[in-house]
Structures are given as structure tokens and as C-alpha cells.
Amino acid sequence: MRDGDRLKKNRRSASSSVARSAWPAFLTAHAVLVSEVERRLKEAELPELAWYDVLWALERAPKRRLRMHELADAVVVSRSNLTRLADRLESNGLVSRERCDDDRRSSFAVLTDAGSEMRKRMWPVYRAAIEELFDDHLSADEQASLRAVLQRLLEAAAKAAAPQ
């Protein structure tokens, strides 16, 4: 059997003081959904999700470029990891680097046309997966309240992580 066949079950069943917490379900749902999305991208011979994130962040940015640390924040990835990720994207021609004139310590990651094309090729597959695995099972109300809840958690975490 290949390792691709996996992540299909949920055996979590909380049993103590977090018995009513949605946290275990949150972790499991994320793992299962993301791995299924990744499976579909791979099946379509497309790059992984992290690449999409970077390409999309650059696409939205002014002049299709971001400083490396801005990009790292945008895609929620560590600095050194992003350097390596950008290396791979660059060697595949999807991103290029440019010097930053006002602050020469910094460098820009710039989306290339090929990068933009790749994102457009990935999107239908990614969108279909999101719809089929996520959106189709939630009402508009549920989407809205889920977003609100997640947003709240995100803001709280930002405070908790950087108190000073």
C-alpha cells in the first residue's frame, strides 16, 4: 500500500477536562482536509498548497512583489523556511528576486508570468477541492460564524504570542 492512502479516520475521542472542546476535532479536521487537498493537487500533477499560498500572496500584492519578511508573514511560514521555499519557486521560474533600493538589506520576491500562469492552473483544482470538501457542507450562516470564530481566535493568539 502506498502512504497516500491514509488520514481517513478519526479516532479521537476526548475524555477529560477538554471533553467538550472542539480542539481535537479542529486538529483532525485540518489534517484530513489538507492532506486530501494535497492529494488532489498531486494527482493533477500540480505543486503543493504552500506554493499556491506564495503565488497568491504575490498576485494580490502591489506590483506583484513583497519583501521576504512580508511574504513570510502573509503565508505564515518561518523566515529561513521561506528562503528555501522561494529558492524552489525561483528555480522553477515562478518567482524571481529583486534588490530593494530603499533598504538594501531587503529583497523582493516577484511573481513572474509563469508563476501567475501556474497559479491560474492550480486554482480550479484547489477551488473544486475547497468547495467539495468544505463549502458544500456549510450553510452561509455557518461559514460566517465559523469565520468570525476563527478570526477571534487569531486575534487572541496574536496577543498571547506577542504580549510585550
What residues between 70 and 129 interact with a second copy by CB under 8 A? 72-74, 76-81, 127
**Residue 104 interacting with DNA (CB under 7 A):** yes
**Residue 26 interacting with a second copy (CB under 8 A):** yes
**Residue 157 interacting with a second copy (CB under 8 A):** yes
Of 25, 27, 30, 78, which one interacts with DNA (CB under 7 A)?
78
**Residue 44 interacting with a second copy (CB under 8 A):** no
Where does this chain touch a second copy (CB under 8 A) — which range of 84-92, 95-103, 104-112, 137-145?
137-145
**Residue 1 interacting with a second copy (CB under 8 A):** yes
Which one, 16 or 65, has the nearer CB to DNA? Answer: 65
DSSP the chain: --TTS----------STTTT-SHHHHHHHHHHHHHHHHHHHHHTT---HHHHHHHHHHHHSGGGEEEHHHHHHHHT--HHHHHHHHHHHHHTTSEEEEE-SS-TT-EEEEE-HHHHHHHHHHHHHHHHHHHHHTGGGS-HHHHHHHHHHHHHHHHHHHHHH---
**Residue 97 interacting with DNA (CB under 7 A):** yes
Which spans of this chain sit near DNA (rule: CB under 7 A)? 1-4, 42, 50, 67-70, 72, 77-88, 97, 100, 103-107
